A and B are shown apart, each in its own frame.
Chain A
Amino acid sequence: SQADAAAKCIKGDRKAPYTIGWANIYSVPTWMKQTQGTIEAEVEALKKQGLVDKLVVTDAQGDANVQIQQIQSMIDSNVDAIILIAGSSTAPARVIADACAKGIAIINFDSLVDTDQVTAKVNTDSSQWGDQAAKFLIDAIGGKGKILILNGPAGVSVSDDRRKGADAELKAHPDVKILAETNTPYNVAPAQEAVTSLLFANPEIDGILSLGGALSAGAVLALDKQGRDQVPITGENARQFLELWKEKGLKSWATMQPNWLGAFATYTAVQALEGKDVPAFVKIPLPVIDNSNIDQYLARAKDFPADGYIYSPYDEELFKKLLAQK
């Protein structure tokens, strides 16, 4: 029965239909907007099944302190579940613990919090991301050469984890020389600016290890505008990058942070509230885009915003499979 539900934080005293709170850190960026789209679609589906009656959305406007306050308000208004993209990997830990103690199902996805007081965490493996990206690039440049590394913003766990994940591969190949590294927001413009300056400072570049967001598109544009040959580059599933990839005929590799993590988190929360056991950490395998399947992605491009991300398809079967893994 529900009384001895195995999932963490679940006390079994909450009955469907449930109220779900989505504690978003910042709802304006397109990735977030797309993610919210998958959440809303999932909520619609669950409403039809009578499992959910309301979705409450907050937007912390990028401020981790405001997010804490909003999670507190969710606790105060006694929502049944909170799905959460954290604005800081440490800051919300205590308020989440409070929520957990109140029997609220908490599913943390994308940006994770260093705490075990959650029902489940759902994410791809950032370290693996870095590792696989490095592997591809080192392979592509033939095990030796000069590379640039483009990181996301400094002081943020995700960008740090991805970078650390690449370390082992890089150390294993002493012939791969790191010319320079940058930290910029995951955006096109700052990446393009930085790479352009680096191109002038470093006449010879063999490859670019770009660790996420729209950084790769910026790098490709920079090379293109300076009339330089494109080099092997890693990236993420940003539509602009995928289109440039095709247009410039790149040899490339990309993975993604699928937007349906949001839908999946919602699904997981309801499953947990329904008394199902859910794993404490659901590792989402990294979907890989390479020259073999890029066309499949681009074929669906028109369904996605121009400045958005083309994510892999998903359905309930996939969710069930993910939850079943141990």
Chain B
Amino acid sequence: MTAWTDSAGGRRARAILTSRPFLTLAIVVAVWIAASIASRGFGAYGHLRYLVELGAVIGLVAAGQTFVVIAGGIDLSVAAIVTVSAISLPLLSWQADPTGLASVLAVVALTTAIGVVNGLGVALLRVHPMIMTLAMATFLQGLLIIIAGGSAVTAENPLVHWLGNARPAGIPAGILLWIAVSVLVLTLMHATPFGARIFAMGANPLAASLSGVPIISTTLAVYGISGFTAGLAGVLVLGMNGQGYVGIGDPYLLASIAAVVLGGTSILGGLGTYAGTIPGAILLVTITALITVVNASPGWRSILFGSLILGLLLLSGREQARR
């Protein structure tokens, strides 16, 4: 009963300290400290900064994925959307646009539209999200055959280059972008009626619909957001690598799902927060980097990677019981 009598502030502090996002963050910090002791260079500021920058790509993809998963779906087309974004940006370049902003907007509008089509399939055709987005990924592969290599022009987009390489005030632009998106996403998720509808839809779509949640438009919005953030991630990854290529998005499908779940969002929908996905994304790139510097055969490295994820999941990943 003591919990009731605590001050509101104390209760709040305790709630934060025992929350999944905080736990995931604590694990990240612990892994960083342990790894820096083992390998001096790992803990260098530059390296940690690089890890966070890499985490930004996963984090962006996982932002949309978090929305979709909380809304009770899943988006298996994010990898293909990242690739489409990175590949088609050079195709959508205009001479008249010296900043490159117009092309970026055009590409992101395209990927958002792709997401909305996913939403249409899920909401109107009532195709299961996994099937709809898998089919969308297949469509996009066909699209890529047509557009890939279509442009002989390297991506010389100033904005994209800036995003991938600039460090205003010593902070990589990609991280700044991620911070901005995170603030927006967290606000949208937890401080707007739209966010409340998504949680309701994910926890119990029937009850949500009977409570007046507009299921169709909310679904469209959710998948649209996922297309949007995956498109942004594509732009960022294009900037970081200087060149898009087919397959550039591939690593981000499972990574985005893993980041979401490691961050404590329930894969069954209705519960979770992007605040957990953020450390989840950083955790994933951290583990990957850790594995890279370990000298072992590919088989052992793979085993080590899997075991680490499993171990960390044990620390943070209990599913809440339902029903």
Contact = CB atoms under 8 A, between A and B. Distances in A.
Contacts of B243: 188, 217, 240, 306-307
A305 B148 contact: yes
A201 B39 CA distance: 6
Interface of A: 27-30, 33-34, 61, 154-155, 180-183, 185, 187-190, 192-194, 196-203, 214, 217-218, 221, 225-226, 240, 243, 302-308
Contacts of A193: 54, 285, 288-289, 292
B46 A200 contact: yes
**Top 7 closest A-B pairs, CB basis?**
A305-B149, A154-B298, A200-B41, A200-B47, A307-B245, A197-B289, A201-B293
B293 A218 contact: no
A28 B145 contact: yes
Nearest to B290: A197
Contact of B251 (A180, A182, A189): A189
Nearest to B285: A193
Contacts of B293: 180, 197-198, 201
Nearest to B248: A189
Contact of A154 (B42, B288, B299): B299
B298 to A, nearest CB: 3
A187 B39 contact: no
Given A61-B141, A198-B292, A302-B152, A203 B41 contact: yes
B251 A30 contact: no
A177 to B, nearest CB: 12
Given A28-B145, A180-B295, A306-B152, A189 B240 contact: yes
- The residue in B46, B50, B145, B243 that gathers the most chain A C-beta atoms within 10 A of its C-beta is B243
Interface in B105-132: none
Contacts of A203: 41
Interface in B125-144: 141, 144
Contacts of A308: 149
Contacts of A187: 245, 247-248
26 contacts: A27-B145, A28-B246, A29-B245, A182-B292, A187-B245, A188-B243, A189-B237, A189-B240, A190-B251, A193-B54, A193-B289, A196-B50, A197-B292, A197-B293, A200-B41, A200-B42, A201-B39, A221-B241, A225-B165, A240-B154, A240-B243, A302-B152, A303-B152, A305-B148, A306-B243, A307-B87
Nearest to B301: A183
Main secondary structure of the interface of B (DSSP, over half): helix
Most buried by A among B90, B148, B251: B148
Contacts of A307: 87, 148-149, 243-246
Given A30-B149, A61-B141, 11 more contacts: A29-B245, A30-B246, A181-B295, A188-B241, A188-B243, A189-B248, A193-B288, A201-B42, A217-B242, A306-B152, A306-B154
B187 interface: no
A197 B46 CA distance: 10
Nearest to A29: B246
B188 interface: no
A140 B150 CA distance: 37
Interface string B229-247: 0000000010011111111
B44 interface: yes
Contacts of B153: 306
Contact of A28 (B47, B141, B150): B141
Interface string B270-299: 000000000000000100110011010011
Nearest to B172: A225
A33 B46 contact: no
Contacts of A180: 292-293, 295
Contact of B145 (A33, A155, A197, A225): A33
Contacts of A189: 237, 240-241, 248, 251
B247 to A, nearest CB: 6
A199 B42 CA distance: 10
A221 B242 contact: yes
Nearest to A241: B243
A237 to B, nearest CB: 14
A161 B298 CA distance: 15
